[in-house]
């Protein structure tokens, strides 16, 4: 996504644009660059929300501004990751932005940037540096929905180190307790046992299929029992007496 530009000090003073932290801050993010970006962000959100549907101790969102000025000013120091997760917080869906000084100083535990031609350099360099040195975000990933480039880094002794892929090419996120990997040209989550984390729609279809399989099995067992009873009767044996 496009890096949000910060006005210069002179411009802010000239236009009297310095805003002190009162009330709620609305996200200041530009429009998403493509439908692929939107679908990928929504996929990451909805799958995690389905998996963690019984949890209330996290916040996962996308395309939302993070304000982190040490001076507690909205007019300086803000970035907008494509997708991020904060752990040990409240699952408040009404946040209009993430304001670090209003959130007990918490920064994201996991960030995923969706690359594009216009943002890839910034995501790989400037944002990576900020997420490492300022946010101290433990797990940082980037994914290109066109080329399917996928890389991940974990914070070790204050520096990002590449995450080694497993045999499937998935990368482990210690923070999420999940693998992230490319499946069907999309970035998806996988549980430690290798099972993909479904979307709510996929989970509903899977549950329906299991129910149908159980019903079919029950019908087959009933037919077998009826055939056995008929055979016993042919032999002069009352199956009810067995």
Q: Are residues 37 and 136 in the same domain?
A: yes
Residue 79: CATH number of its domain? 3.90.1570.20
Kindly report, residue by residue over 111-165, the tens digit of the pLDDT: 999 999 888 999 999 999 999 999 999 999 999 999 999 999 999 999 999 999 9
**Residue 207 domain boundaries:** 202-241
Kindly report, residue by residue over 98-115, the tens digit of the pLDDT: 999 999 999 999 999 999
Kindly report, residue by residue over 36-57, the tens digit of the pLDDT: 999 999 999 999 999 999 999 9
Is 4 part of a structural domain of the chain?
no
Predicted TM-score (pTM) of the model is 0.76
Q: What total of structural domains would you count in the chain?
A: 2
Distance, in Å, from the CA atom of 224 to the CA atom of 238, rounded to the nearest integer, reads 16
Order of strands, sheet of 98-99, starting from the edge strand that comes earlier in the sequence:
78-79, 66-67, 98-99
Is 2 part of a structural domain of the chain?
no
pLDDT at 225 (0 to 100): 77
> What is the pLDDT averaged over residues 61-76?
90
Q: Are residues 121 and 212 in the same domain?
A: no
DSSP code string of 161-175: EEPPP-TTS-EEETT
Q: Are residues 229 and 169 in the same domain?
A: no
């Amino acid at each position: 996504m496009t890096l949000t530009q910060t006005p210069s000090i002179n411009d802010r003073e000239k236009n009297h644009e310095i805003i002190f932290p009162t009330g709620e801050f609305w996200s200041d993010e530009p429009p998403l660059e493509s439908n692929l970006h939107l679908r990928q962000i929504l996929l990451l959100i909805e799958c995690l929300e389905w998996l963690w549907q019984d949890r209330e101790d996290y916040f996962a969102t996308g395309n939302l501004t993070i304000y982190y000025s040490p001076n507690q000013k909205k007019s300086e120091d803000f970035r907008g990751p494509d997708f991020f997760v904060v752990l040990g917080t409240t699952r408040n869906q009404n946040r209009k932005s993430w304001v670090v000084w209003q959130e007990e100083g918490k920064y994201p535990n996991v960030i995923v940037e969706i690359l594009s031609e216009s943002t890839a350099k910034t995501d790989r360099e400037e944002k990576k540096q900020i997420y490492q040195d300022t946010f101290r975000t433990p797990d940082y990933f980037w994914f290109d929905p066109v080329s399917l480039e996928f890389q991940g880094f974990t914070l070790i002794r204050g520096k990002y180190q590449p995450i080694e892929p497993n045999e499937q090419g998935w990368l482990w996120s210690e923070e999420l307790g999940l693998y992230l990997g490319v499946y069907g040209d999309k970035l998806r989550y996988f549980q430690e046992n290798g099972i993909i984390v479904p979307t709510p729609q996929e989970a509903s279809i899977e549950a329906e299929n299991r129910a149908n399989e159980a019903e079919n099995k029950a019908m087959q067992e009933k037919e077998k029992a009826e055939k056995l009873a008929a055979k016993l009767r042919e032999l002069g044996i009352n199956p009810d007496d067995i």
